[in-house]
Structure 1
């Protein structure tokens, strides 16, 4: 896969036409599970009147777009509200029989749109988008994240979460409909294994 992009200098004179080296980059990204899409990130609708406090607690990953940083099973994320209004985030998975955890921070990045959260798992890295497209707080949530690469293409991530380790097929279908309504391709979504999670570690 390749694409040529014309670079035009301020003088208006086209200096050259460069075939962007995505011919090599895109296959490497796909090997790592992310599939890039041309153009900038979409701007999906998010949960109206989102209540950050109600979102706290444990969420289990039911289905997702494949992501290189999630290789295990029994994936769970716990949100705990802090005194400063942020949330402590502990994400865990079972990988090769061992429980792996990582800790980070979630913040409301835009008070005018509180469903647009940011999460960082490192003090030196910026917050990455973690947008709540829809949730009933008590049983399911539909979450989206997207990163622009030079405004030429974007990498996106999508999750359907549950308060328990399973969701009815109707709830999963409803989540996928929300993605489709926002023109987010989730045809590659896969289920996350959530069985025998307590006894295997």
Structure 2
């Protein structure tokens, strides 16, 4: 157990305190969206709130997902080609993370795997809840060892903001499955006119 605490402390110091959500134990396994329709999920989503992610700093976070003929979901901002996420870095430059997603098990289509350019290992991307028209709640968790894990969660909307009651409902959903939401950060979606729409 002491070794796990040392590992967690080392990771937190290396990546920056508050830059990730590391925990002792094993990944929670929350239920995902039933009868998930990947075609209806396609399109543009804007970041509203998220658990800290060292790979996603800045503001104006957005992603666009399209369904490819081979069954993969490809995410891309129109101005670039293929990308998983785009956002404005603190220096004002547009940052992009390219990737593709695929349904890991056709019997459970809300559990996707995302592979980013430069990282051959797929990462979980679970759609926990969506109405397809206004909001989505996404969760990702990876076990680092037998005693520790790192997790991510995103609340996204079809517009740059969501009503407070929907955000509360989605955070309550995470919390009800043992996922801590206290350190979720609000994505700054103001002054995003330099980002393509």
TM-score, normalised to structure 2's length? 0.88
Cα distance in 1 for partners of 2:194, 2:119 equals 35
Which ranges in structure 1 are unaligned for 5 or more consecutive residues? 6-18
Which of 16, 22, 25 is the equivalent residue of 2:7?
22
**Which residue of the other structure, out of 28, 38, 59, is the alignment partner of 1:52?**
38
Inter-CA distance 99–27: structure 2 relative to 1 (3 Å threshold)? closer
More strand by share: 1
Going from structure 1 to structure 2, the CA distance change for 1:52 and 1:197 (only over 3 Å counts) comes to same
**Pair 1:158 & 2:153 matched:** yes
Aligned residue among 61, 70, 73 for 2:59 = 73
Structure having the higher Rg:
1
Q: Which has the higher contact order (CA 8 A, sep 6+)?
A: 2
Stretches of structure 2 that go unaligned for 5 or more consecutive residues are 76-82
Aligned to 1:16: none
* RMSD, matched Cα: 1.9
1:200 shift after superposition: 7.2
Q: Of residues 69, 85, 88 in structure 2, which corresponds to 1:83?
A: 69
Q: Distance in 2 between matches of 1:31 and 1:40?
A: 21
Runs ≥4 residues deviating over 4 A:
none
3-state SS of 2:167 partner: helix
For the residues of structure 2 that align with 1:40 and 1:23, how far apart are their CA atoms? Answer: 13
Query: What's the CA shift string for 1:4-58, capped at 9, x where partnerless?
Result: 36xxxxxxxxxxxxx8742652432453611311111111000001011110000
